Amino acid sequence: MWSARRITLVAITSLAVIAGGGYYVLGPGAPVSPRQAIQDAVAASAAAKSASATFTTQVSGMTVLFGTVRQQGWQSSKATLAMTTVDGAERFSVTEIVLGSTVYISTPGLVEATGKQWLGVPVRALTADPALAQLYQTNAIPAVGAGLLAMASTVRLAGTETISGVPTSRYVGTIDPSRARATLAPRLGQLLAPELAATTGQIRFTAWIDRQHNFRKIQTTSTVGGRLTVTTLVFMARSLPGRIATPVDSQVETAP
């Protein structure tokens, strides 16, 4: 038999779910609101020593980039991406290393053209070259994607889904790019500045979070430079061994 107290508790919880847009229960304990679930996952990302993921970027409905990314620590701003860029029927590989405020890009033919293995580009200069800006896949870096979601203007629970065999709760929401530019931590703000400056309208996102507060998948949709851009990030592993090496100065050509 259900007691009057239990029936009252169920009724109160049901009203809270309707009013607040849903709850995600992270195992035993008190329910967690959608906004708190996002913040908990951001905190879990910040605590991770490293992470790896696959990513895909679509522009105007067509896949233009896909590959893998490995990040070394939340605070170090170090990440390396191995990706394939698609231009019609042509495809070529690109390696990219993001170190603080500089992006190092290596593409086929670079050594023959410059005698150097890497092209070093300051992040602030990327907006001047649309071709280079397209290769700058900051949203594919796990810590950056998570940090951007921390700026969510709205968020609600949208159901559950299994990602790579792991049960998750799915959240959807929006981000105001101008507010994100103004309030992001300086390190993340610097990395995201070129993309946020070129974004019009709201950034929409979907985040899949498991019961250990970990992001399993993040998808962002925005209009960048007048084109609809969708980046999907699927997390693979954390606490990876090895360090990301800094390109040697003698092998770096500075972008004009």
Question: What's the pLDDT tens digit per position in 72-123?
Answer: 876 556 888 999 988 877 888 989 998 877 889 898 888 888 889 999 988 7
Question: What is 34-254's CATH topology?
Answer: outer membrane lipoprotein receptor (LolB), chain A (2.50.20)
For residue 220, the 8-state DSSP code is E
Please, which pLDDT band fits residue 243 given cuts at 50, 70 and 90? Answer: confident
pTM for the model stands at 0.82
**Residue 133: what pLDDT?**
63
**Residue 161: what pLDDT?**
96
**Residue 5: what pLDDT?**
40
Residue/partner pairs of 239-245 with CB below 8 Å, 24 or more apart: 239/48, 239/49, 239/50, 240/50, 240/51, 240/52, 240/70, 243/72, 244/70, 244/72, 244/78, 244/79, 244/80, 244/97, 244/99
Please, which pLDDT band fits residue 194 given cuts at 50, 70 and 90? Answer: confident
For residue 128, the 8-state DSSP code is G
Say if residue 87 is exposed, middle or buried (CB neighbours under 10 Å; 0-12, 13-18, 19+). exposed
Tokens 């800094």 belong to 246
Please, which pLDDT band fits residue 125 given cuts at 50, 70 and 90? Answer: confident
Distance of alpha carbon 224 from alpha carbon 19, whole angstroms: 33
**Residue 113: what pLDDT?**
85
pLDDT at 61 over 80: yes
The domain spans of the chain are 34-254
Question: What's the pLDDT tens digit per position in 223-237?
Answer: 988 889 999 999 998
**Residue 130: what pLDDT?**
61
| String of DSSP letters for 53-103 | EEEEEEETTEEEEEEEEEEE-SSS-EEEEEEEEEETTEEEEEEEEEETTEE
